[in-house]
Amino acid sequence: ASTLGSAAAAQGRYFGTAVAAYKLSDSVYSGILNREFNSVTPENEMKWDATEPTQGTFSYTSADTIVNRAITNGQKIRGHALAWHSQQPSWAQSLSGTTLRNAMVNHVTQVATHYKGKIDSWDVVNEAFADGSTGARRDSNLQRTGDDWIEVAFRTARAADPAAKLCYNDYNTDGVNAKSTAVYNMVVDFKARGVPIDCVGFQSHFNSASPLPSDYQSNLQRFANLGVDVQITELDIEGSGTAQANSYSTAVKACLAVTRCNGITVWGIRDSDSWRASGTPLLFDANGNPKQAYTAALTALGGS
Ligand code: G3I
């Protein structure tokens, strides 16, 4: 296999990328997207502020563009994200209590219903745990509606789109630490109580301050052992040259070594597409040429 997507498919996995709707008219961008990737995640277009800018008025144009194009090209779609403390529309930011809870439930129902049958996996809840050593939930307006907001979001998503796999997604949970253990304990609890959860996403934004952890694979494995699929959902690795290529290779191999790690998504195509203001964290350079990191990822997937 000579592309990331086809090499991943030969391993029973997908290899995806975040996609920004406004870049699809760029032929270099869309050419790489069509050739290399068999899964897409809308980078911003499915978030609450994008899909419900005014309460009760839903706006799907940009997300639909990505979804319809992906379906035409036979690419899976990872929905991102139904309930999150960030990128909420201003009207939601000012709500609290039952009013906010009801608005969240309605949002999850409406968006998951609009895309019913089209989404492989939904990031139902994103980034709900605090950084650091407490293992606590992150404080947010959603969290202040009550600890059960996460399970309510999952049950609501299941009711709206029973075929979609429902994931919890977070960052700084890539290795074994207090935050990932808190997520782990939530999955244990959800499984014990029959709360629907199918997968856990590990964002995997790595840089020198937060490098690829040495226990990455064993952390993925401990979650898989709970009976959920795991995915690398927003991979990017700061750096360049051989060091960066080796890190990409290690990350890909960690996923392949875990039977239930069924997909990898990088958070953008070219370095110039990255959310990071500077740096070169992705697989293609600003001109769209594959980097050493690309060759390493492809080789790790068994392609050439
Ligand atoms: O849409 C407006 C546009 O109208 C305006 O002119 C422009 C001016 O700055 O801003 C545009 O919105 C920006 C948006 O990206 C679209 O480009 C926002 O300011 C900017 O904050 C937003 O950043 C996104 C970020 O999430 C917001 O939290 C990044 O693109 C996106 O890559 C990033 O993705 C997150 C994941 O969702 C969750 N995990 C972490 C990851 C990286 O931060």
Nearest CA to ligand 1 atom 23: 275
Q: C-alpha 165: how far from its chain's center?
A: 12
Q: Give yes or no for residue 275 CB within 6 A of ligand 1.
A: yes
Q: Give yes or no for residue 86 CB within 6 A of ligand 1.
A: yes
| CA gap 103, 108 in Å, rounded | 9
On the question of a cis peptide bond just before residue 81, with omega within 30 degrees of 0, the verdict is yes
Q: Look at residue 291 and give its three-state secondary structure.
A: coil
Q: What is the pLDDT averaged over residues 101-128? A: 99
Q: How far is the CA of 37 from the centre of ligand 1 (A)?
A: 22
Nearest to 167 by CA among 186, 140, 141: 186
User: What pTM was computed for the model?
Assistant: 0.98
Q: C-alpha 76: how far from its chain's center?
A: 13
Q: In the structure, what pLDDT confidence band is assigned to residue 277 with cuts at 50, 70 and 90?
A: confident
Q: Give yes or no for residue 207 CB within 6 A of ligand 1.
A: no
Q: How far is the CA of 20 from the centre of ligand 1 (A)?
A: 10
Q: What is the pLDDT averaged over residues 111-115? A: 99
Q: What is the pLDDT of residues 201-212, one digit of tens each?
A: 999 999 999 999
Measured CA to CA in angstroms, residue 87 lies from 18, 43, 179, 274 at distances of 17, 12, 22, 18
| CA gap 36, 2 in Å, rounded | 9
Structure tokens that stand for 97 in this block: 């209590």
Q: What is the pLDDT of residues 163-198, one digit of tens each?
A: 999 999 999 999 999 999 999 999 999 999 999 999
Nearest CA to ligand 1 atom 33: 275
| CA gap 256, 23 in Å, rounded | 30
Instruction: List the catalytic residues.
Output: 234
Q: Ligand 1, from 43, 125, 138: best to mutate by most atoms within 8 Å of Cβ?
A: 43
Nearest CA to ligand 1 atom 22: 44
Q: Look at residue 163 and give its three-state secondary structure.
A: coil
Phi, psi of 65 (to 5 degrees): -60, -45
Q: In the structure, what pLDDT confidence band is assigned to residue 280 with cuts at 50, 70 and 90?
A: very high
